[in-house]
Chain A
């Protein structure tokens, strides 16, 4: 199979103060594929995904070793501009977190902070992003209402629209459906299938069926170590390690 590598995590160690949260992680993320990160609670999934757009830079006393390459460039390199890195690698968070602004402004925000002034362009881009996030039908008549008036599932799709508007190269999603009902969840899963045609997606989930349904590759993490990383069907039908099998079949945790 000839896959193109988009991101690569190399010999990654991560520490919260003196506590090591990630231990020698190596993963290759392929272009236009969905890569799922699974594992028991507290194993370091969020820590890992937040390292990919340098969100952990905000945490005091945190320390990182190793490299994260985006198209061969180390995003932790000395000349790398963190703002630029984050624009290229978008993120959708576990809990929907729209700004206390209008629906329109939520999506336009990323464009504005990136220096785009052309109103016509912004309007079109906002519309397109909301359509891509499968939300347009529900909000097109009330773009100026507060985003906080939307339901949880709508808010999360708005957050996805917001992330898409700045055209990231990679989209990170940290349990994007964990706070949502089944209908909203399946909408977001469909959306991910649609989006992977244009984006490279990394998704954290602790829902194994979800990982099996939507991902092409799966990384299984436990206690900060990467136990196994392979094609999703392989992980779910014929894992190389016993612990993986135990976890997948629900024999623990």
Chain B
């Protein structure tokens, strides 16, 4: 009787602690969202939502200030797409290599090595991009500036590659060995097996890997601040300097007058960034859920 009560009491304490922890993170998330809305929305008293999103000029400090973030969003978009162009083939390709072709020893060296790459601080990538990659790009393509969307994409892509590779490789190795054996036993060769059985079965994991790589690219700040060139103009080619959303906020927040229009505009950019990543994550969740149902693993 007594023992039972003590157990019950303990259980209630544990329950309480975990509930508090769970709600704490929810509370922080909610707090951040509320602040983003509270500090971001006032800008729309000054400019309409349409003008804000699709305005072509970002002159936040002019006497006659303009708050069009189209060039900034396009900057993010270009750099993110460019980064995907780098990290998807590199990341998925290396995952396939490690999974399919690398021998046992190679695998046991490569996988941890790539995971270490993911742990390099972004400032190091930025530094590397600025000092080595940018001058190289400038010389190779005979450009006036080496700090541009292309260099940014390249650096972001390289940064996101370990994430993509590592998650994609995990996904591949979670595919039951029995699928591969069944396919081989029917006279399928290695590539047929890979494309028709292994990849579809690992599909949700691979898409998650790509979307997380994308989130990493769009949310990355330090590197883009350092290597993208920083011009808030609508980019017409990959070799022009751009100023992605994160870089804009990081660069300008210090000089924006608190509570002023510029300040609210920067928060509104943060809000939009937040909505983008939210949408990515929802898409990732939907995809992985669909695949899980297809694989019969339940919801």
Which residues of the other chain, B, contact A114 by a CB distance below 8 angstroms?
Answer: 186-187
Nearest Cβ in chain A — how far from B298, in angstroms? 11
10 additional A-B residue pairs with CB within 8 Å, beyond A61-B104, A83-B187, A86-B185: A55-B181, A55-B184, A60-B104, A83-B184, A87-B186, A93-B181, A98-B182, A109-B196, A162-B186, A166-B187
Q: How many residues of A contact B (CB 8 A)?
A: 30
A159 within 8 A of B: yes
- A84 adjacent to B187 (CB under 8 Å): yes
Chain A residues whose C-beta falls within 8 Å of the C-beta of B103 in the assembled complex: 60
Main SS at interface, chain B: helix
Interface status of A149 (Cβ within 8 A of chain B): yes
**A103: interface (CB < 8 Å):** no
Are B187 and A93 closer than 8 Å at their CB atoms?
no
Tell me which residues from 43 to 97 in chain A have a Cβ below 8 Å from any Cβ of chain B.
Answer: 53, 55, 58, 60-61, 83-84, 86-88, 90-91, 93, 95, 97
A residues in contact with B295, CB < 8 Å: 100, 148
A-B contact count (CB 8 A): 76
For B176, the chain A residues whose CB sits under 8 A away are 97
Q: Across the interface, which residues of A come within 8 angstroms of B180, CB to CB?
A: 58
Say yes or no for B138: interface residue by CB 8 A criterion: no
The 8 tightest CB contacts between A and B, nearest first, are A87-B187, A148-B296, A110-B186, A97-B178, A113-B188, A91-B185, A100-B295, A113-B192
Is B201 engaged at the interface, CB distance under 8 Å to the other chain?
Answer: yes
Is B197 an interface residue, CB under 8 A from the partner? yes
**How far is it, in angstroms, between the C-alpha of A100 and the C-alpha of B176 when the chains are bound?**
11
B185 in complex: contacting residue of A53, A61, A112, A146, CB < 8 Å: A53
Q: Which residue of A lies closest to B188 (CB)?
A: A113
Is there an interface contact between A163 and B192, defined as CB atoms closer than 8 Å? no
Q: Is B189 an interface residue (CB 8 A)?
A: yes
Interface readout for B88-125 with A: 1 if CB under 8 Å, 0 if not?
00000000000000011000000000000000000000
List B contacts of A100 (CB < 8 A).
179, 200-201, 294-296
Which residues of chain B come closer than 8 Å to A121, judged between CB atoms?
A: none
Query: Which of B180, B187, B201 gathers most chain A CB within 10 Å?
Result: B187
A93 contacts B178, C-beta separation under 8 Å: yes
B240-299 residues at the A interface, CB under 8 angstroms: 294-296
| B200 & A58 in contact (Cβ 8 Å cutoff) | no
- Chain B, interface size category, equals 20 to 34
B196 touches A113 (CB 8 A): yes
Q: In the assembly, what is the distance between CA of A45 and CA of B57, in Å? A: 75
Bound-state Cα–Cα, A91 to B180, Å: 13
A93–B186 Cα distance when bound, in Å, is: 12
Which chain B residues lie closer than 8 Å to A83 at the CB level?
184, 187-189
Q: Is the CB of B181 within 8 A of A90?
A: no
Which single member of A55, A58, A60, A109 contacts B186 (CB below 8 Å)? A109
Which residue on A lies nearest to B197, using beta carbons?
A99
Closest residue on chain A to residue B176 by CB atoms = A97
Q: Which of B179, B184, B200 contacts A86 (CB 8 A)?
A: B184
The distance from the CB of A54 to the nearest CB of chain B, in whole angstroms, is 9
Contact A146 B189, beta carbon cutoff 8 Å: no
Within 8 Å of chain A (Cβ to Cβ): is B183? yes
Least CB distance, A181 to chain B, in whole angstroms = 20
Q: What is the CB-to-nearest-CB distance from B254 to chain A, in angstroms, rounded to a whole number?
A: 52
| Least CB distance, B205 to chain A, in whole angstroms | 13
Greatest chain B CB density within 10 A among A55, A100, A163 is at A100
What CA separation (Å) do A60 and B103 show in the bound complex? Answer: 9
Cβ–Cβ < 8 Å partners of A53 in chain B? 185
Which of A93, A99, A149: most chain B Cβ within 10 A?
A99
- List chain B residues, Cβ under 8 A from A99: 179, 182-183, 197
A93 to B176, CA, bound (A): 13
Q: Which residue of A lies closest to B291 (CB)?
A: A100
Q: Per-residue CB proximity of A108-151 to B under 8 Å, as 1/0?
A: 01101110000000000000000000000000000000101100
B247 to chain A, nearest CB (A): 43
> What are 25 A-B contacts with C-beta separation under 8 Å?
A58-B180, A58-B184, A61-B104, A83-B187, A83-B189, A86-B185, A87-B187, A93-B181, A93-B182, A97-B176, A97-B178, A97-B181, A99-B179, A99-B197, A100-B200, A100-B296, A109-B183, A109-B186, A113-B187, A113-B188, A113-B192, A113-B196, A114-B186, A162-B182, A166-B186
